């Protein structure tokens, strides 16, 4: 799991860019911090282990590093969407709100859907 730093926006931005650019990976983005996102990130990391070479979890603790366009793309502009999975072409496939995201089953399904294309 890649945890982006909160105290260094520039570095976080660079790391985020690299993570998105990383080829042949299925990326699950976790947004926010302080409202149970750590638990969600931890669960997502467990599910990423089921296909460790392909699945990647990126926890963006400070969402202010994202551009407006990115927020629209990944979260559809909604604060309650805390998880977004990207397929191999880095297109958002599944978005989960805070309640749903706190489930291994939902996270697993989000990964699977992104893997299916």
Partner 1 sequence: MKIKFLSVVIITILTASFVYPISGKDSFVTFIEYTEEGKIKELAEIQFRYDVDINSYIDVTFHPSAFVRMESGIPLSPESVRLRKELESLNNLLKIAREDLDDYVRDIDTLRKRLLENDDPLIEARFRQKLKERSNFIQKLLVALEPVVGEARLEKALGVSDSLYSGVVSLLAEHINDVQKKLEAETSSLIEHSEHTLRVWCIHSSHGKKPNAIHLNNYDNLEAGSLQIVDKVTLALTEEEDRHLRESVRFHEDLRKLVVDIGDKDSELRQAFSDLTDQFFKDLRDFRDFFGTQTLQELLDEIEKEIGSLDSSEEVNALKGALSDLKEKLKEIFNLIQKNNSLVRNLFVERPDPLTLVTLLSPELITEVEKLKDVLSQKANLDRINEISERIKNFRIVFKKVSTLLSKGLSDKINEFIEVKFQTWIATFSNLDIVLSKYEIFSDYKKVFKGLLERGLFVATISDEVGDIGDLMPKDTLEVAMSKASPTVIDIPRTNRQESDIYNLYVRIYHKGSITLSKEYSFRIKKYGTYSRWTGNLIFAKGEWQNSFQPATSVSWILHHRSRPKEKNGKTEGEGKTKGGGGVLGNVINLGIGLNSVVFSTEGEIEYGLGIAITFFNDILQVGYGFNFQREGSRGYFFIGASLFDLLNPTRSNSD
Residues that bind partner 1 (CB under 8 A): 23-24, 26, 43, 45-54, 88, 103-105, 108-109, 112-113, 115-117
Q: Who's near 85: CB < 8 A, 6+ residues apart? A: 26, 27, 28, 29, 92, 93, 94, 110, 111, 113, 114
Minimum Å gap between C-beta 39 and partner 1 is: 12
Q: How far is the CB of 47 from partner 1 (least distance, A)?
A: 7
Distance CA 9, CA 35 (A): 20
Nearer to partner 1, 80 or 103 (CB): 103
For partner 1, which is the closer residue by CB, 57 or 60?
57
In the complex with partner 1, the residue whose CB is nearer, 14 or 50, is: 50
CB 15, min distance to partner 1, A:
19
**Cβ nearer to partner 1, comparing 35 with 42:** 42
Q: Which residue has the tokens 């989000």?
A: 110
| DSSP 8-state symbol, 117 | -
Q: Quote the least distance from Cβ 105 to partner 1, whole Å.
A: 5
The phi-psi region of residue 44 (left if phi > 0; otherwise alpha if psi is between -120 and 50; otherwise beta) is: alpha
């Amino acid at each position: 799991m890649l945890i982006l730093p909160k105290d260094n926006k520039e570095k976080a931005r660079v790391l985020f860019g690299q993570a998105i650019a990383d080829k042949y990976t299925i990326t699950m983005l976790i947004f926010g911090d302080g409202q149970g996102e750590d638990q969600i990130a931890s669960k997502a990391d467990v599910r990423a282990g089921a296909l460790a070479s392909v699945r990647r979890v990126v926890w963006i603790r400070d969402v202010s590093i994202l551009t407006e366009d990115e927020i629209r793309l990944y979260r559809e502009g909604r604060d309650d969407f805390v998880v977004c999975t990207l397929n191999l072409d880095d297109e958002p496939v599944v978005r989960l709100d805070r309640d749903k995201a706190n489930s291994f089953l939902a996270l697993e399904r989000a990964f699977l859907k992104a893997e299916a294309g």
